[in-house]
Amino acid sequence: MSVVLSVSALSLRRGPRAILSGVDFSLEEGRVAAVLGVSGAGKSTLLRLVAGLELPDAGEIRLDGRLVTRAGEAVVPTHERGLGLAPQGHSLWPHLDAFENAAFPLRARGVPEAEIARRVGGMLESLGVGALARRLPAELSGGERQRVALARALIHQPRLVLLDEPLSGLDAPRQVEARRVVSEALRRAGAAALYVTHDHDDALAVADRLLLLCGGRLAQDGPAGEVWRRPVSEEAAVLLGAENRISGAARGEAAELVGGLRMPLEAPLPEGAPLAARLRPEDLLLSSDGVGWPGTVRACAPRAGSFLVELDTPAGLLLARAAEAPAPGARLRAVPRPGRLLIYRTDTAPRSPA
């Protein structure tokens, strides 16, 4: 597969703050890469730089091998880059109906009316909003506006599509369906795509590759499943939902964690090296026995078909997911699922899995 996007040593500062620092990656045709990070990590700025809406202090950007941006200069203006762009908030023109919003990129390119009617009608139909073609944005729901914005981004068959938090305005029940629609539309288009999100569920549902941005640095880049299973740092693990933290130290060939749990290390570490174990709530089983941390149920709340349980333990407050709600005050053990405990040294930078 040919490389559509190449980003090299991209950096940007605003005053004393580094927004992006030495970001390097490339993206092949047909690949969907989710740029995942917390608010302020530099995700939207990266998209704006690729689009040519902002200029970097250092580095360069190439599209299909062609230099389009270098330090302080847009070599190729935004409108000549052939991108598909779905900005945050959808940004539909309020005076144009759904059809005309989606048709705008084709009209700007002088495509004949018959071809516009065929392509726009087919695109809106494939996204499930064909019957809404003559409605204004104010007459559409958030999910419907999102689909029209996606149609506009894809209608001119771009080589690269940029999507900035496309599902951020939707409530949780609608996000599941919207993720499916976006994912299927991108696969059909066959374009390379950068998908900016702060939600790892979004990223994993839509993308086959994850780019983790932490404080403007590209902390990890790789296949989505691999990055999910093996975040390379504690910072990356937190970004990927590993909320539970248990401190400890290296003892012999094991990690000795607060609360008395010992887990074998994959590689030897200096005796006494400080460690932190990270676990996602779904990686903890609640049981009446087993090797884990004993605790008392403090609270329990429903969460998308399961329950999020807070357990007071000698290792601190731990969060676990359960199929059924335990009674407040119940005594249970939080048992790590085999192979799910992520262990990191805390005295080195950058950190990597122990």
The answer for residues whose C-beta is within 8 angstroms of residue 292's C-beta and 6 or more apart is 261, 284, 285, 333, 334, 335, 336
User: Same structural domain for residues 222 and 164?
Assistant: yes
Identify the pLDDT of residue 116: 95
Residue 224 shares a structural domain with residue 265: no
Distances (CA, A) of 332 to 130, 156, 288, 293: 52, 57, 5, 8
Q: What is the pLDDT of residues 286-306, one digit of tens each?
A: 988 878 899 999 999 998 789
pLDDT at 260: 86
In a domain, 202, yes or no: yes
**Cα Rg of the chain, angstroms:** 23
Task: Specify whether the backbone of 118 is left (phi greater than 0), alpha (psi in -120 to 50) or beta.
Answer: alpha
Look at the alpha carbons of 198, 244, 205, 12 in this order and tell me if their dihedral is positive or negative: positive
The domain that contains 35 carries what CATH number? 3.40.50.300
Residue 53 shares a structural domain with residue 202 = yes
The burial of 256, by beta-carbon neighbours within 10 Å (0-12 exposed, 13-18 middle, 19 or more buried), is given as: middle
> Does one domain contain both 249 and 136?
no
Strand, coil or helix: 320: strand
Q: Is the same domain home to 156 and 243?
A: no
The predicted structure's pLDDT at residue 351: 42
The backbone region for 241, taken as left when phi is positive above 0, alpha when psi lies in -120 to 50, beta otherwise, is left
Structure confidence at residue 66 (pLDDT): 96
Give yes or no: residues 207 and 337 share one domain. Answer: no
Q: What does the pLDDT read at residue 222?
A: 96
Say yes or no: 274 and 325 in one domain: yes
Residue 171: per-residue pLDDT: 66
Q: Are residues 24 and 169 in the same domain?
A: yes
Rounded to an integer, the average pLDDT of 36-58 is 94
pLDDT in the model for residue 107: 94
User: What tens digit of pLDDT does each residue of 328-343 get?
Assistant: 999 999 999 988 999 9
Q: What is the CATH number of the domain that holds 274?
A: 2.40.50.140
Give the model confidence (pLDDT) of 162-192 as tens digits: 999 888 766 666 778 888 888 888 898 899 9
Given 231, 249, 282, the domain boundary residue is: 231
Confidence label for 354 from pLDDT (cuts 50, 70 and 90): very low
Give the residue among 189, 188, 191, 178 at the shortest CA–CA distance from 144: 178
Inter-residue contact 157 to 111 (CB < 8 Å): no
| 93, part of any domain | yes
Distance in angstroms (rounded) separating the CA atoms of residues 310 and 278: 16
Residues ≥6 apart with Cβ < 8 Å to 300: 307, 308, 309, 310, 322, 325, 326, 328
Please provide the DSSP assignment of 73-94 as one string. Answer: EESS-GGGS-EEEE-TT----T
Paired tokens of 76: 């190729």
Domain boundary at 212, 231, 250, which?
Answer: 231
Q: Given this model, what pLDDT does residue 344 score?
A: 93
**pLDDT attached to residue 172:** 66
The two three-digit tokens of residue 301, written as one number:
């709340």
pLDDT at site 139? 95
Q: Which two tokens stand for residue 324?
A: 């059924």
C-alpha to C-alpha distance for 15 and 204, rounded to whole angstroms: 34
pLDDT band at 327 (very low <50, low <70, confident <90, very high): very high
Round to whole Å and give the CA distance between 303 and 130: 33
Q: Report the pLDDT value the prediction gives residue 269, as an integer from 0 to 100.
A: 87
Q: Give the model confidence (pLDDT) of 136-152 as tens digits.
A: 999 998 888 989 999 99
d(CA 23, CA 12): 10
pLDDT category, 349, cuts 50, 70, 90?
A: very low
Same domain, 31 and 154: yes
- Indicate whether 128 and 263 sit together in one domain: no
In a domain, 142, yes or no: yes
Q: Is residue 350 in a domain? A: no
Sorting pLDDT into bands at 50, 70 and 90, what band is 92?
A: very high
Work out how many domains the chain is built from and give that number. 2
The confidence score (pLDDT) of residue 167 equals: 80
Q: Do 140 and 63 belong together in one domain?
A: yes
Final residue of a domain: which of 177, 204, 231? 231
**pLDDT tens, position by position, 238-286:** 999 999 999 999 998 899 999 888 988 888 889 999 999 999 999 999 9
What does pLDDT average to over the chain?
91
State how far the Cα of 241 lies from the Cα of 309, in Å rounded to an integer.
Answer: 15
pTM of the predicted protein model: 0.87
Would residue 351 count as lying in a domain?
no
28 and 173 in a single domain? The answer is yes
Please spell the DSSP secondary structure of 224-253, one letter per residue: HHHHHH--SSHHHHHHTT--EEEEEEEETT
353 occurs within a structural domain = no
Q: Which domain holds residue 321?
A: 237-345
352 within domain boundaries: no
Residue 187 lies in a domain: yes
